[in-house]
Structure 1
Amino acid sequence: MSARPACDRPPAARARRARRALRALWAIPAGRLALTAVGVIAAATALGLFVLWPGDGAVAGSSPGADARGAEVVAVGTDGCRPELGPGCRTLRIELDGRASTATFAGDALTPLPEPGARIRVVPAVPVGAGEGATPPWVFLDYDRRAPLLLLSLLFAVVIVLLARRRGLLALIGLGASLALLATFVVPAILDGRPPIAVALVGAVAILLVTLALAHGASSMTLAAIIGSACTLVLTALLATLAVDAVQLTGLVSEQAFVLRVASDGEIEPQGLLLAGMVIGALGVLDDVTVSQASVVAALRRAAPSMPARTLYAEALRVGRDHLAATVNTLALAYAGAALPILLVFSTVGTSLGDAVNREIVAQEVTALLVGSIGLACAVPLTTAVAVALARRVPTELLGDAHAGHAH
């Protein structure tokens, strides 16, 4: 009977196994060096979190959705609409907190008219120069999509746990920790005027440390993946900075960036936001590449313990090239999908492909794709080299769970 994978052991057993693995790694010079490197990365990240942690001065504007409330549409009419709102205006009779009220629907051509029974979000109306009760007290903001999104999220979680069991649960916990770091550190710190590229880099490494440790435990291959990923993130941040300056991207092509710049009185730099987005975007696929490469090295080492380091590196790199090609293709299609509507708009007005790509709104997507792809390409040989250096010097039982790799 084969041993139970580490991910299927009870939490207490996993913790004991992790402590034993760390002690065993520390007893080996190569393991001690790797643990020291990861310790330095973790300490630098903790220092970055301390220095960049947002205070109470985050930008707090009066956005249209700040006072949004949930309501249900009861009926739709035209009474109460002011002439300046146009022929598409409708008055929605709504139920809000158990009470009957009304809301104005301004007739946005991009938003379908809500029907009775629809769940919507409304905000208080502040009509200029109007007296009390002169207009419906609420204004339609958007449809309320929270309930279906919650159900879809629950379905996602159930499917992941059913298929991946304990490892899937750990992955979901890591995902929750990642979202929590983004919500409690990255976003507030940028709004508080901290340098976006520094915030993104520190936040990305913190997410990396949490998710890899949770999903893969303590092993030499986890250490290799952390070292390779952290080094690649720093390289990607440097490359993104050079690329944005070389391509002369301002980051002001989106309405959101312009609004943030105005709301913060210029404290939030749009170019920095663009750089931060490139770093966070690269993280989305980077951990998959580095963990896979480390797992390939571990699998080859178990299958052929006497394989020379040069051969081990070459064989793992051969697998890494295939994985890299598939990942870059996935990344390219994701960015192409994001830029497709923009390209279609340019095509309808007769803009050539070359001129369309030259426009900043497209050029920033192309730059992000190229920067991310170069970072991924560097991650493969770097992580493979670190993993091989460790795999050749540690016992096979310290390589990590044999089932830890991704299937590709």
Structure 2
Amino acid sequence: MSTLFCLSMLLLICMLLVGGRKGLRSFIALFINFGILFISILFMADPTVNPVIITFIGSVLISCVSLFYINGMNVKTKTALLATGIVFVILLVCIVAFTDRFMIKGFGEEEVAELSMFSLFVGVDFSKIAVSVIVMSTIGAIVDLAISIASPLREIYTQSPSLSRKDLYQSGLGIGRDILGTTTNTLFFAFFGSYLGLFIWFKDATYSLGEIINSKVFSGEMLTILFAGTAVTLTIPVTSWVTAYFLTKK
């Protein structure tokens, strides 16, 4: 506990030195979003509640906190939220359509030994839980990229208000292309880094390449990465168009 407190204070000091008042808000928003996520998980444990609906509500609240509490209510945060919502709906439809086809719900055989002492009759629809996991793993990257495009577009339009909607849209695409490669790599290594122990286990268990690819755990992780990459890619044109439209609407 003392170690966690010291690390939290170190993070707070760094965010205050770098971000000032906004850094403090970012630190507070981190714990607010953690609380939203924790409450969402508690609701998902209730068999009478649809996890997808809870995920949708939780993602909207997390997006609002990340955008409005930290950056205030302005054009860039409103357009970023609208773009996030559009991409989120598209992502949710695709995830629901493809999750059952990939058969990633439930636990893999690599997890059976750890769960053998527990009862698996918990009354929860694991196909919907799989949808919730993918969405929750992706929503942060969507919000981050949306505000990263909306904010510089607003500054560009402030300095050059004579720009047309098409020029602003092209500027947004140019900004997004510069961010896309690093964001995709960040998602890829963040997800795979959390499963480094699993890869070592695959090696020690002498899994062949075909067995690794067909493993439920590996397939679920790859599906999350692919959906996250697709959502991040879609966020660029959607945010660019929405921001350019509202900035030049007058």
Same fold, judged at TM 0.5 (above): yes
Read off the aligned partner of 2:133 and give its amino acid letter. Answer: G
Deviation at 1:308, TM superposition (A): 1.5
The reply to whether residue 272 of structure 1 matches residue 128 of structure 2 is yes
Residue 157 (str. 1) matches residue 12 (str. 2): yes
Matched residue type, 1:331: L
> Could you tell me which of 244, 267, 283 is aligned with 2:99?
244
Match of 2:147 among 282, 285, 291: 291
Q: 1:339 aligns with which of 185, 190, 195?
A: 195
Question: What's the CA shift string for 1:375-401, capped at 9, x where partnerless?
Answer: 11111111111100011135xxxxxxx
The structure that has the greater radius of gyration is 1
How many Å separate the matches in 1 of 2:77 and 2:113? 38
RMSD: 2.1
| Contact 2:29-2:70 at 8 Å conserved across structures | yes
List per-residue Cα deviations over 1:74-129 (Å, max 9, x = no partner): xxxxxxxxxxxxxxxxxxxxxxxxxxxxxxxxxxxxxxxxxxxxxxxxxxxxxxxx
In structure 1, C-alpha distance between the alignment counterparts of 2:23 and 2:170, rounded to whole Å: 31
Q: What pairs with 1:64-213 in structure 2 (closer than 5 Å)?
A: 146-184=1-39, 186-193=40-47, 194-213=49-68
CA distance in 1, matches of 2:54, 2:237: 27
Determine whether 1:309 maps to 2:175.
no
CA distance 1:257–1:226, shift in 2 (3 Å)? farther
Which among 310, 320, 324 is matched to residue 176 of structure 2? 320
Describe the SS at the equivalent of 1:262: coil
**Contact (CA 8 Å) 2:104, 2:217: kept in 1 or not?**
no
Unaligned runs of 5+ in 1: 1-145, 395-408
Amino acid at match of 1:270: F
Find the aligned partners of 2:140 and 2:113 in 1 and give their Cα distance: 22
The one of 262, 272, 275 equivalent to 2:119 is 262
- Runs of 5+ unmatched residues, structure 2: none
Structure 1 range deviating more: 247-256 or 204-213: 247-256
State which of 176, 190, 212 in structure 2 corresponds to 1:356. Answer: 212
Distance of 2:43 and 2:228 partners within structure 1 = 23
> Given the alignment of the two structures, is residue 372 of structure 1 paired with residue 228 of structure 2, yes or no?
yes
Partner deviation per Cα, 1:13-66 (whole Å, 9 max, x = no partner): xxxxxxxxxxxxxxxxxxxxxxxxxxxxxxxxxxxxxxxxxxxxxxxxxxxxxx
Label 1:258 to 1:244 Cα distance change in 2 as closer, same or farther (>3 A): farther
Structure with the bigger percentage of helix: 2
Is the contact made by 2:172 and 2:236 (CA closer than 8 Å) also made in structure 1?
no
- Mapped to 1, the partners of 2:114 and 2:150 lie a distance apart of 38
SS of the residue 1:363 aligns to: helix
- 1:218 paired residue among 73, 91, 100: 73
Aligned: 1:330 with 2:186: yes
- Distance of aligned partners of 1:255 and 1:384 in 2 relative to their CA distance in 1, 3 Å threshold: farther
Give the equivalent residue in structure 2 for 1:142: none
Change (3 A) 1:255 1:166: farther
Aligned to 1:232: 87
Deviations 1:234-260 (A, max 9, x none): 22222222222121112222469968x
CA apart distance, 1:314: 0.8
Partners of 2:104 and 2:114 lie apart in 1 by: 13
Aligned counterparts of 2:114 and 2:36: Cα–Cα separation in 1: 21
CA drift of 1:216 comes to 1.2
The aligned amino acid for 1:189 is F
| AA partner of residue 219 (structure 1) | N
8 Å contact from structure 1 (residues 250, 271) kept in 2: yes
Structure 1 contact 212–222 (Cα < 8 Å) conserved? yes
Residue identity in the other structure for 1:277 = V
| Bigger share in strand | 1
Distance 1:243 1:280 in 2: 17
Which letter maps to 2:13?
V
Instruction: For CA contacts below 8 A with separation 6 or more, give which structure has more relative contact order.
Output: 2
Please tell me whether the aligned partners of residues 172 and 237 of structure 2 are also in contact (alpha carbons under 8 angstroms): no
Residues paired across the two proteins, number: 246
Q: Call closer, same or farther: CA 1:256–1:350 in 2, change over 3 Å.
A: closer
How much does 1:195 deviate? Answer: 1.7
What TM-score do you get using the length of structure 1 for normalisation? 0.57
Percent same amino acid among aligned pairs?
Answer: 23
CA distance in 2, matches of 1:174, 1:292: 18
